[in-house]
Amino acid sequence: MNHNTPLSPRPLHHLSEVRSRVLTAAQLRARSVSAADANEQCRPGGPWQQLLPGVFLLHPGPPTSQERLHAVLVYAAREQRSGGVPAQPGAADPHRPVYAEAMITGLAALTLHGFTATPSLLALDRIDVLVPRLRRLRSTGCARVVRTAALPPAEQVTGLPVAPVPRALADAVAELTDAGAVRRLLTEAVRGGHCEPAAVVRELNNAKLLSRPHVVDAVDSLLAEGRAIAEDRLYRMVQEHGLPDPVWNVDLRLPGGPHLGGLDAYWPEQAVAVELDTRAPRQDEDALWSEYARKREHLERLGITVVHITPKKLRDAMEQQAAVVRTALMAAGDRDPAAYVVVLPR
């Protein structure tokens, strides 16, 4: 047999035995099932059903959550074929789904990421799927098409491409009007360790959602939650990595002079300060960064070393951040004495 030899037809009952029971019209054609045969199988009372345009479920009962997810993805995915041959490695098996330029987002993605504040997959009437902006697709059935100028890198969850938590949150929040629901989602994202507040706010800002009052209120709660978690990690870093105890949450002033700024931790003898960088990337980011930079430059002109630490670095590389602070403390003896400043509780 050579590659020009036509495939012999397979009996239709064979298709119901394959592991993937969600197939596209193209995959059925690869199994020698014509469009007329597929339509006949989907007649009322028949053994198959059509879940979405060009997407078939090879049994008559309600689809499972995994089958719905697969159906939405194969409906939205761009076919990767050239000359009739799958272009993507591993796509030669017509029963193995290949999802090009499509990923689950919104509430369904958050549920897949393990959120508890989201409905179950079966309880969702629609599943959001993220695709490039120029794709010619329409929302239909259980698939709601969400468009983006640039697809983020997908994360694999249960073998499916899923949008990262910050992007999935933004797409979910865009459809929610309940302030409590929005607050619960954002809080779980941070408290559950799924992502940092700054990443969430960045996506909400990109989606132009920060003009909605109920979203702004939820973001304020989110930032407060994120700062509390970051402060707790900073305390743990000092204790677990054997750093000397600082004075916590203080304001610095020049004697009889102006306020120099607040600090999260300060070692007066070494003139070393730690400031948590919990800026949220909103429209006024440049102004906030300028304020941070001015304060840091002013303190360093006075001989005070300022170590900026982000919540993400505290979470992902606490030992490394402790080493940075320890190095600054050890180097204090090699520097000129710092200017005298007044340390006040904040």
Instruction: Express each pLDDT in 7-52 by its tens digit.
Output: 334 444 544 433 468 888 988 988 888 889 888 888 998 899 999 9
Dump pLDDT digits (tens) for 97-116: 568 899 999 999 999 999 99
Q: Token digits for 242?
A: 């054997």
Residue 15 has what pLDDT?
46
CATH of 242-345, one of 1.10.287, 1.10.40, 3.40.960, 1.20.1260: 3.40.960
Please check the confidence at residue 2 and state whether its pLDDT lies above 50. no
Please check the confidence at residue 227 and state whether its pLDDT lies above 60. yes
What global pTM score does this model have? 0.74
Residue 298 has what pLDDT?
87
First to last CA, the chain: 82
Structural Rg of the chain based on CA atoms: 28
Q: How far apart are CA 157 and CA 153, in angstroms?
A: 13
Tell me the mean pLDDT in the region 253-264. 87
Mean pLDDT for all residues in the chain: 84
Q: Token digits for 268?
A: 């007066």
Q: How confident is the model at residue 280 (pLDDT cuts 50, 70, 90)?
A: low
Dump pLDDT digits (tens) for 323-343: 999 999 999 888 888 889 999
Phi, psi of 75 (to 5 degrees): -65, -40
Residue 5 has what pLDDT?
34
* Percent of the chain whose predicted confidence (pLDDT) is above 90: 54
Q: Which of 216, 228, 214, 224 is nearest to 180 (CA)?
A: 214
Annotate 192-230 with b (16+ C-beta within 10 A) or e (fewer): eebbbbbbbbbbbbebebbebebbeebbeebbebbbebb
Q: Which of 242, 235, 239 is nearest to 274 (CA)?
A: 235
Domain ranges of the chain: 12-175, 242-345
Q: What angle do CA 250, 252, 258 make, to 5 degrees?
A: 140
Q: Which of 310, 235, 245, 324 is nearest to 279 (CA)?
A: 310
Dump pLDDT digits (tens) for 287-320: 555 677 788 888 989 999 999 898 888 988 999 9
Q: How far apart are CA 196 and CA 280, in angstroms?
A: 10
